[in-house]
Amino acid sequence: MDRFKQLVKFLGVFALILAASHFYMFERISSYLQLSPRPRMMVAFVLTLLPGLTLVSLPLRRILPRPAASALTWIVYPWMGIALIMFVTLVATDLVWLVLQFASPNPPTEVHLPYDLGVAALSVAGLLCGVALWKGLASVAVKEMAVTLTRLPASFDGLRIVQITDLHIGPMIDGKWLRKVVDTINALAPDMIVITGDLVDGTVEELHHHVAPLANLRSRHGTYFITGNHEYYSGVDAWCAHAVQLGIKVLRNERVSIVSGATEDSFDLAGIDDLGGRHFPGDGPDLPKALAGRDLSKALILLAHQPAAIHEAATHGVDLQLSGHTHAGQIWPFNYLVPLQQPYSKGLHRHPDTQTQIYVSSGTGFWGPPMRLGTSAEITHITLLSGADYTSAEQLQPA
């Protein structure tokens, strides 16, 4: 019942935002272009129909057959991105218009200036939408990076980890796309593969054949998976069980030892459930449980879907946290909103006053609109480098 109330509240707030933003766009487009009654009615119809479809698609997508849900999603999700870019462009145009009004209350081209601004705004919005769709649907690039861990044994120097995250296999991203990602990863011949959450948007019954290519992933130390918040929306226990059937090791508040075959040196790899799991039946993230009894002299890499887990990770002496979740904002200007919820949006950082580093991937897939503006999807190819100075076990104390 609580979840139903939360859903109703969310839909209510979402409906208000949709209505207000689309009414604003209707008014500004009509005003700037000085539309006559018939074009105004056409614009009003479009700007009423599309947000209405967007609103009803949220519950309908879960009950419609996949082909119908996919077709509906390919209408409303691109529109969400187009509407966002158009809204931001019109707000910027209003600001320009205000500046011009203050700078010159009676410009010579006063009659034509609003129309010219309106045409320019819609042209810029159209160009940005085209770029965003092209980037969102383009092949995912490999991002190369190196991270030095001071406690990593020399025998692991050069160990390569591929991180993929936020694939969001569902109505818009399918098995054909995933096969290309798997082929790209296998061509890198990594030592280890990690999937840091938000693999799917849908049930095992709906998507099992679309995630099947994951069974073809190949690496020396195997593939590891942790939950993201979207796994909880899609049946977390069923998906974790299915991942095991695909040959993937699921880390749910667990730790494994990665051993070098030549020297039997090792480091620890731990994974925790997503922070969103606290709102669902079960334990949610439990880092102390995952780290209980570990050798404090060993290097420790943590898989945690949300960057916000870094605060606790740093108190436990984690060397490197690998996260996703943010999509780096996905569509500008959302990148400016990410810091309101997460301490890091993208890239490699050292957490203040600690030796803990965090890498936040921009995401491999997309959620919602198949668009990216100011960000890029990535398959992250991480090379671990061994540091010369090791921290002794005595210097590290359990939190």
Domain over 141-395 is classified CATH 3.40.50.970: no
Q: Which residue has the higher pLDDT, 99 or 257?
A: 257
366 is written with which tokens? 């997309």
Window from 164-173, 204-213, 274-283, 342-351 with minimum mean pLDDT: 274-283
- End-to-end CA separation in angstroms for the chain: 37
Cα separation, 89 vs 95, in Å, equals: 10
Q: Residue 118 and residue 130: Cα distance in Å, rounded?
A: 18
Q: Could you tell me the pTM of the whole model?
A: 0.89
Beta strands in 26-150 (DSSP E): 141-149
Contacts of 200 (CB under 8 A, 6+ apart): 167, 168, 169, 170, 207, 211, 230, 231, 234, 239
pLDDT at 394: 33
**Token pair for 275:** 């922070």
Residues 178/208, Cβ–Cβ less than 8 Å: no
The predicted structure's pLDDT at residue 218:
97
Domain range summary for the chain, segments of one domain joined by +: 2-137, 141-395
**378 near 138, Cβ under 8 Å?**
no
Only one residue has tokens 């096969």, namely 179
The pLDDT > 70 percentage for the chain reads 93
Region 42-51 average pLDDT? 93
Q: CA angle, corner 342, sides to 338 and 345, nearest 5?
A: 55
Q: How many CB atoms lie within 10 A of CB 21?
A: 17
* Among the listed residues 248, 268, 135, the one whose alpha carbon sits nearest the alpha carbon of residue 199: 248
Q: In DSSP terms, which residues pair with 249 in a beta bridge? A: 224
Whether 372 shows a pLDDT value over 90: the answer reads yes
Q: Residues near 283 by Cβ (< 8 Å), separated by ≥ 6?
A: 253, 273, 277, 289
DSSP annotation of 327: G
CA distances from 354 to 267, 313, 384 (A): 19, 10, 19
pLDDT (0 to 100) of residue 7: 63
Quote the percentage of the chain above a pLDDT of 90.
71
- pLDDT (0 to 100) of residue 395: 35
Sign of torsion over alpha carbons 340, 341, 343, 345? negative
d(CA 116, CA 305): 46
Tokens of 245: 């059937």
pLDDT in tens, 286-304: 999 999 999 999 999 999 9
| Phi-psi region at 264: left, alpha or beta (left = phi > 0; alpha = psi -120 to 50) | left
The closest of 6, 88, 163, 110 to 371, measured between CA atoms, is 88
Q: Residue 160: which pLDDT band, with cuts at 50, 70 and 90?
A: very high
